[in-house]
Amino acid sequence: MTRIDDTFARLRAEGKKAFVAYIMAGDPDMAGSLELMKGLPGAGVDIIELGIPFTDPMADGPTIQAAGQRALEAGMTLSKVLQMVQEFRSGDATTPVVLMGYYNPIYSHGVERFIREAKAAGVDGMIVVDLPPEEDEELCLPAQAAGLNFIRLATPTTDAKRLPKVLQNTSGFVYYVSITGITGSATPQAGDLAPAVAAIKAGTDLPVVIGFGINTPETAKLMAGVADGCVVGSSIVKSVGEKKPLGEILAQVAALSGGAHSA
């Protein structure tokens, strides 16, 4: 049982859906993003997705691309991302932290070293968007052997033939991408997603959370209503980019989490 497993079990017992928030590590700088990260659980965030900045983020929309660029320009590295998690863990031993990013920084860091350091820092899982199931031996299987969840994305183009392969070595939860395209690019429709979520649940006992395109409490409620939770990223990251005060951003997060939790 990981912190992710424990969190979903607790939420089920409480009759609640999960609210997952994404922020970019190091945006606008390490200190600022760490302060925001520390404030997320108090704003109702159940699981934190922490972005690893990368120079070529193919699945990210303009908002998150810009955040990654700001973080890189501020000197953010994978080692500093792990340091952020370690500092967060010194005051929070329960909120799950999932790293989200691309394989290149992990490969450059060294897979064995990354897994060892991530586990020691208090990371609970990872989403590596450019590692397909055919490459599970690269990172997925070693990570899971070390007790880290490896969370896989399913998309509207994941057909019935492909889905079992996607689910095969997934753990923690399944992240369903609600739209075809990049982050922050469109608004999903709950009625369109229910059959896709049902198809995933027919193939796994894992929770399913919906992400991409969720930017209001109302949309968060609708998306969480057809799944086990929802993910919000771009709208939070946009507020960071606009240099809104921390209290204002956390109030925005609290409103979004309230929508998800009321589903």
**What rounded mean pLDDT belongs to the chain?**
94
Best CA proximity match to 242, nearest among 101, 60, 66? 66
Distance (Å, rounded) from C-alpha 51 to C-alpha 64?
9
Residues 3-258, CATH architecture? Alpha-Beta Barrel (3.20)
How does strand 149-150 pair with strand 152-154?
unpaired
Determine which one of 5, 27, 46, 60 is catalytic: 60
Q: What is the tens place of the pLDDT at every residue in 80-106?
A: 999 999 999 999 999 999 999 999 999
Question: pTM above 0.85?
Answer: yes
Q: Say what the pLDDT of residue 54 is.
A: 96
Determine which one of 5, 46, 49, 136 is catalytic: 49
Query: Would you call 60 helix, strand, or coil by DSSP?
Result: coil
Higher pLDDT, 248 or 212: 248
Q: What is the tens place of the pLDDT at every residue in 173-200?
A: 999 998 765 555 556 666 779 999 999 9
Q: Say what the pLDDT of residue 192 is.
A: 78
Distances (CA, A) of 153 to 29, 36, 157, 175, 258: 28, 26, 11, 5, 25
Q: What is the tens place of the pLDDT at every residue in 111-166?
A: 999 999 999 999 999 999 999 999 999 999 999 999 999 999 999 989 999 999 99
Q: Say what the pLDDT of residue 181 is.
A: 57
Q: Per-residue pLDDT averaged across 235-260, rounded?
A: 98
Distance (Å, rounded) from C-alpha 88 to C-alpha 97?
10
Q: Say what the pLDDT of residue 224 is.
A: 95
Q: Which residues have a Cβ under 8 Å from the Cβ of 24 and sit 6 or more positions away?
A: 33, 50, 51, 53, 64, 67, 68, 70, 71, 237, 240
Q: What is the tens place of the pLDDT at every residue in 101-112?
A: 999 999 999 999
> Is it the case that residue 59 has pLDDT exceeding 80?
no
Question: In this structure, how many other beta carbons lie within 10 angstroms of the beta carbon of residue 62?
Answer: 13
Q: What is the tens place of the pLDDT at every residue in 213-233?
A: 899 999 999 999 999 999 999
Q: What tokens appear for 192 in the block? A: 């369109």
Q: Say what the pLDDT of residue 188 is.
A: 64
Q: Say what the pLDDT of residue 45 is.
A: 98
Question: In this structure, how many other beta carbons lie within 10 angstroms of the beta carbon of residue 164?
Answer: 11
Whether residue 138 lies in the annotated active site: no
Long-range contacts of 196-201 (CB under 8 A, 24+ apart): 196/154, 196/156, 197/226, 197/227, 199/160, 199/163, 200/154, 200/163, 200/167, 200/174, 200/176
Query: Would you call 178 helix, strand, or coil by DSSP?
Result: coil
